[in-house]
Structure 1
Amino acid sequence: MNPERTFGRGGLNGFLDVDGLLEGIGLDEADVAWRKEFIGFDEADEQRLTDLEPMLRDNQDEIADEFYDNLLEYEKARDVVGRSPKGVEQLKQTQRAYLVSLATGDYDLEYFENRARIGKLHELLDMPLKQYVGQYGVYYDLIMRRVNERVQEQVVTAIEEWLAEREADADGGLGRLSEALGFGGRGGAEATDGLEASLEETVRDAIDDGMADVLSLLRIINLDVQIATETYVDSYAQDLEAAIEQREQLAADVESDVETPLDELHEAGEVVARRAEGISQHTESQAASAEEAATEIGEISAAAEEVASVAAEARRESERTEQLAADGVEAAAEARRELGAIEDATERVETAAAELESSTDEIDEAIERLDEMAQRTTILASNAKIESTRGDAGDETMAVIADEVNSFAKQTKRDLDAIETALEDISEATAETVDAVAETSDRVDQGGERVRDTIESLEEIHDAARSTAAGLADVAAATDQQAHSIEATAESVDDLSRSAEQVAEAAESVAAASQEQTASLGEVSAAVGRLTDVEPLESTPVYERVASESDPHLEPEATETQ
């Protein structure tokens, strides 16, 4: 299939209304003729484009590759290419077909209808107008480089032909070229600025011919850009008209739809105004009650602070009592230890008294034995005295002994009597001591019992004082917390009172605003009739629809983008 004939016949064409498109942009034979005349495109341009066809065909592959290599470097361009139902290779094939079609078209109405279709397909793919027009800058660079090479070749060929025509001259071709370039010989009147006039004319003619080719290319591409740009403008105009129609329809629908709600809103506004006034009155009453409650809570707060102060004082006294009870317990414990020592001493005294009484008994027994011995000594002395009276020599000695013994016996008797008297006194004192010790022991036992009872009582008092102190601490903490809570409540009530006042003021404002709202509803109703703000049109992009509807086997030459 001829690619020039399938160019612009891709999958998106099924979504185009070509007749409507042409009518929208006003494209017909007369319009095409006017456009050509306006930019100077004529049959000479058509012929020149025909002459350029071999060059364009020979370079079509290279130009298409370079064009898309440049295009795909930019993300926005890649996005547009990605929305096309064709792949990059198919797009390159279309690009090659477009390039050749520049030089092979009839440049009639059908030719420009195809160009309009191409522009519309780019618009359907959401290619921005700046990108569509801007890509022609890349296109110019790629094409003009080849045209430049062609012009240079034409100039060189013209010079070679000029030299060939003069080879018959005697000086030969090289000498003739040297003179033509003004390097000596016969310049004269035939030379201009050192260059022979005929050579200069030949070069200028070749360059002019090349530039005429360039202009022909620029004119046909300019016509393409004109047509494609108008398809964008036509689309924008259609969107604008549709938006205007939608706005007008929406405005009419809104005016119709809100007529009844506006009436209801008017009535509701009056109800709101009345209720707001009632709210204002109730809120004023609430504010007064809250203020009174704040005053009462303030008094309660003061009383709670007083209770907290008393509780704190009681707590301090309880702590002091607890300390005194603790000191009493400690003193009782010390007394218990001293009482134990007294009991031990009493036991030792009782033991010593018992031992003394036993010793006294032994002394009595010894005294009795001594008394008996003294009596016997007295008797012995008396006997010795009697024996001494018998008159022999030993009698004097015996008499002396008897006197001494008698004297010793008397003295012993006296001593024994004194000891017995002392022992009787000791015995009496010992008996009294034992009685006193026994009485003291009884009293110590009784005192110990009372001390132990006192210690137990003091311990109970200490425990009770400690519990009381802990309870009073809890009471003080609770009272302090209560005072803080009452104070916070008082502040909250104050805030409530202020809020109520603010609510009352706000309610008054609401009432006033509601009254103003009721008065302005009529103006709102009139303003709705002039509604102009509408949402933009929403529709599914054609490239999304064609992606789901197009045949994957469409002709590879047909595409929608350059």
Structure 2
Amino acid sequence: MQPEQSFGKGGLNGFLDVDELVERIGLDEDEVEWRKHFIGFGEDDEQRLSDLEPLLRDNRQEIADDFYENVLQYEGTRKVINRSPKGVEALKETQQAYLVSLATGDYDLSYFENRTRIGKLHEMLDMPLKHYVGQYGVYYDLLLSRMNERVQDQVVDAIEEWAAEREAERDEGGLGRFVGALGLGGDDDADDGLEESFEAAVRNAIDDGMMDILSLLRIINLDMQIATETYVDSYAKRLEESIERRKRLASEVETDVQAPLSELHESSEVVSKRAEAISQHTESQAAGVTRAARELDEVSAAVEEVASVADEVSDESARTEQLAAEGVEAADDALDELEEIENATDRVADAVDSLAERTEEIDEVVDRLDDLAERTTVLAANAKIESSRGGGGDTMGVIANEVRSFAEQTKSDLAEIESAVEAVREDASATVATTEETVTRVDAGTDRVRETVHSLESIHESAQKTATGMEDVAAAADQQARGVEATAETIAELSQSADKVASAAESVAAASQEQTASLREVRDSVARLTGDEQETEPPVYKQVN
């Protein structure tokens, strides 16, 4: 099958209703004629395109190869080509057929219906419009390079034709004629510049070539218009379907969200009221935290005072501990003295006992002296009796008197000694009693001193514990003071935070009120979605990458 016969016979045609598409885009004979007239495409263009058939046919394979070599460089166009049911070689054949068809068509309604099918097939392959229109730029490069060569050949042919015509009129050689036509001869009388006939021949040849290019661009432009119409039709159809879906969706949304919006509106009002309550509670909390901060400042000052007093008490406890230690030492010394006194009392008691024994011995001596005095008295009496009898004379009387005097004096002395001994005995008894009482008191004092020593030792231990405890209390008071200060700072920060929370709560309340109003507007807007005053959204064109 020739490429021209396979053109437009792809596998996707079974999915395409060309008649419906042509009718939908409004393409009929009148429309075709209007478009051709609008861009100046006429019979002259048809003839020029027919004349270009050999050029296009001879270059179709090279142009198709170069075209697909270019488009296959890009990932986007490669994806589109891979989606085609045709392979690359088959697509190249289709491209060759398209090139030849540019110069061999009847350019009537059926021709543009075929172009409509081609454009739709590209759209069905999800080729983006920028790719489809952009590929014409590739065509321009490939076609115009050949047209440029053709125009140059036409100019050369025109020059050669002009030269052949002039050859019959003049005998000069071809080069001389050409140099003369260019105005480069040595004839001073000749006008400067190109010969008019030569210039006219060149200009006509160039103009004819440019008209060929214009005819080619016009038919390509018509093709591009039709293809673009298929894209626009597809976009319009999608837009209509989208609008229809949006209408259905709007109706469903109106039905579905009416009740939730009402509930949300009511709950939003509740939230707004609760937010106001939260704001009030937060303000109260902030005020309470502020008061607590002030009270903590006072507590902090009190704790600092306690810490100061604890330090003083600790110093006083240390001094008490020292005094208690000194008291223990003094009690120990007193106990030693009492023991010495007790020992001395024991010695006094021993001396009194010894004195009693001596007194008894004195009593015995006094008894013997008293007995002696009695005997002396008897002796004196006897002597006196004997003296009176005259046995001893005066001497015996004197002796008797002296003995009686001695006896009487002795009795008198003994009486005094006995009295003294009795006094000594009484004093010794009193001393013994006093000593015994002193011993008893010393024993009691010793016991009390021992108890005092034990008490002082307990006081000393307690004072040590108290001093240690007061040091701990002082340290704890310092720690507590620092903790209270830190707590005061934290509460101050909490107060600031509570102020911020209060402000935020106020903002939340305001935002909730705004939300309630917005929800009311949303509810009204949803109600208008399917109304007669619904605005049509601007078209959204699908672009497949």
The verdict on a shared fold, with TM-score over 0.5 as the criterion, is yes
Task: Give the C-alpha shift of residue 533 in structure 1.
Answer: 9.9
Structure-1 residue corresponding to 2:253: 254
Cα offsets for 1:266-289 (capped at 9, x unmatched): 433444455455545655655565
Structure-2 residue corresponding to 1:482: 480
- 1:135 matched to 2:97: no
Task: Give the C-alpha shift of residue 308 in structure 1.
Answer: 3.6
Question: Taking structure 1 as reference, are residues 233 and 302 closer, same or farther at Cα in structure 2, changes over 3 Å only?
Answer: same
Task: Give the C-alpha shift of residue 245 in structure 1.
Answer: 3.2
Structure 2 Cα separation of the partners of residues 10 and 162 of structure 1: 50
AA aligned to 2:219 is: I
Q: Retained in 1: the 8 A contact 2:41–2:219?
A: yes
Q: Retained in 2: the 8 A contact 1:251–1:530?
A: no
Structure 2 Cα separation of the partners of residues 490 and 230 of structure 1: 79
TM-score of the aligned structures, taking structure 1 as reference length: 0.57
Q: Retained in 2: the 8 A contact 1:116–1:228?
A: yes
Cα offsets for 1:87-114 (capped at 9, x unmatched): 6555444333322221233322232223
Structure 2 Cα separation of the partners of residues 166 and 476 of structure 1: 133
- 1:26 matched to 2:26: yes
Structure-2 residue corresponding to 1:225: 224
Structure 1 Cα separation of the partners of residues 180 and 253 of structure 2: 90
AA aligned to 1:250 is: L
Mean Cα deviation higher: 170-179 or 523-532: 170-179
Task: Give the C-alpha shift of residue 30 in structure 1.
Answer: 2.0
Q: Retained in 2: the 8 A contact 1:181–1:196?
A: no
Structure-1 residue corresponding to 2:44: 44
Q: Retained in 2: the 8 A contact 1:39–1:219?
A: yes
Structure 2 Cα separation of the partners of residues 146 and 218 of structure 1: 14
Q: Retained in 1: the 8 A contact 2:290–2:492?
A: yes
- 1:105 matched to 2:121: no
Structure 2 Cα separation of the partners of residues 525 and 480 of structure 1: 64
Structure 2 Cα separation of the partners of residues 4 and 472 of structure 1: 115
1:38-187 counterparts in 2 under 5 A? 38-72=38-72, 88-164=88-164, 171=171, 174=174
Structure 2 Cα separation of the partners of residues 504 and 168 of structure 1: 111
Q: Retained in 1: the 8 A contact 2:235–2:542?
A: no
Task: Give the C-alpha shift of residue 500 in structure 1.
Answer: 5.0
AA aligned to 2:480 is: Q
Cα offsets for 1:346-399 (capped at 9, x unmatched): xxxxxxxxxxxxxxxxxxxxxxxxxxxxxxxxxxxxxxxxxxxxxxxxxxxxxx
Structure 2 Cα separation of the partners of residues 176 and 285 of structure 1: 114
AA aligned to 1:480 is: D
Task: Give the C-alpha shift of residue 61 in structure 1.
Answer: 2.7
Q: Retained in 1: the 8 A contact 2:279–2:505?
A: yes
Task: Give the C-alpha shift of residue 169 in structure 1.
Answer: 6.1
Q: Which runs of 5+ in 2 are unaligned?
A: 323-456
Task: Give the C-alpha shift of residue 171 in structure 1.
Answer: 2.3
TM-score of the aligned structures, taking structure 2 as reference length: 0.59
Structure 1 Cα separation of the partners of residues 157 and 66 of structure 2: 29
Structure-2 residue corresponding to 1:528: 526
Structure-2 residue corresponding to 1:241: 240
Structure 1 Cα separation of the partners of residues 237 and 169 of structure 2: 72
Structure 1 Cα separation of the partners of residues 237 and 258 of structure 2: 31
Structure 2 Cα separation of the partners of residues 207 and 147 of structure 1: 11
**How many residue pairs were aligned?**
409
Structure 2 Cα separation of the partners of residues 311 and 8 of structure 1: 108
Task: Give the C-alpha shift of residue 148 in structure 1.
Answer: 1.9
Task: Give the C-alpha shift of residue 223 in structure 1.
Answer: 0.7
Structure 1 Cα separation of the partners of residues 225 and 22 of structure 2: 13
AA aligned to 2:485 is: E
Q: Retained in 1: the 8 A contact 2:128–2:543?
A: no
Cα offsets for 1:490-509 (capped at 9, x unmatched): 34444445555665666566
1:135-534 counterparts in 2 under 5 A? 135-164=135-164, 171=171, 174=174, 194-195=194-195, 197=197, 200-276=199-275, 278-279=277-278, 282-283=281-282, 286-287=285-286, 289-291=288-290, 293-311=292-310, 476-497=474-495, 522-531=520-529
Structure 1 Cα separation of the partners of residues 506 and 133 of structure 2: 64
Structure 2 Cα separation of the partners of residues 61 and 320 of structure 1: 121
AA aligned to 1:62 is: E
Cα offsets for 1:446-496 (capped at 9, x unmatched): xxxxxxxxxxxx9xx99x97x998876665554433333333333444444
Structure 1 Cα separation of the partners of residues 85 and 471 of structure 2: 88
Structure 2 Cα separation of the partners of residues 541 and 520 of structure 1: 35
Identity of aligned residues (%): 67
Structure-1 residue corresponding to 2:335: none
Q: Retained in 2: the 8 A contact 1:290–1:497?
A: yes
Question: Taking structure 1 as reference, are residues 540 and 151 closer, same or farther at Cα in structure 2, changes over 3 Å only?
Answer: closer
Q: Retained in 2: the 8 A contact 1:15–1:542?
A: no
Structure 2 Cα separation of the partners of residues 232 and 192 of structure 1: 58
AA aligned to 1:490 is: A
Task: Give the C-alpha shift of residue 41 in structure 1.
Answer: 2.1
Structure 2 Cα separation of the partners of residues 502 and 71 of structure 1: 63
Question: Taking structure 1 as reference, are residues 280 and 138 closer, same or farther at Cα in structure 2, changes over 3 Å only?
Answer: closer
Structure 2 Cα separation of the partners of residues 539 and 196 of structure 1: 57
Task: Give the C-alpha shift of residue 243 in structure 1.
Answer: 3.7
Structure 1 Cα separation of the partners of residues 503 and 156 of structure 2: 97
SS of the residue 1:225 aligns to: helix
SS of the residue 2:52 aligns to: helix
Cα offsets for 1:24-64 (capped at 9, x unmatched): 32212221122122223233322322222221122223223
Structure 1 Cα separation of the partners of residues 474 and 539 of structure 2: 75
When Rg is computed on C-alpha atoms for both structures, the one with the higher figure is 2
Structure 2 Cα separation of the partners of residues 480 and 11 of structure 1: 95
Structure-2 residue corresponding to 1:407: none
Q: Which runs of 5+ in 1 are unaligned?
A: 325-457, 544-562
Structure-1 residue corresponding to 2:2: 2
Cα offsets for 1:302-342 (capped at 9, x unmatched): 333334445556778999999x9xxxxxxxxxxxxxxxxxx
Task: Give the C-alpha shift of residue 221 in structure 1.
Answer: 0.8
Report the RMSD for the aligned CA atoms in angstroms: 5.0
AA aligned to 1:143 is: L
AA aligned to 2:261 is: L
Mean Cα deviation higher: 470-479 or 89-98: 470-479
Question: Taking structure 1 as reference, are residues 46 and 482 closer, same or farther at Cα in structure 2, changes over 3 Å only?
Answer: same
Q: Retained in 2: the 8 A contact 1:125–1:542?
A: no
Q: Retained in 1: the 8 A contact 2:239–2:539?
A: no
Structure 2 Cα separation of the partners of residues 470 and 228 of structure 1: 103
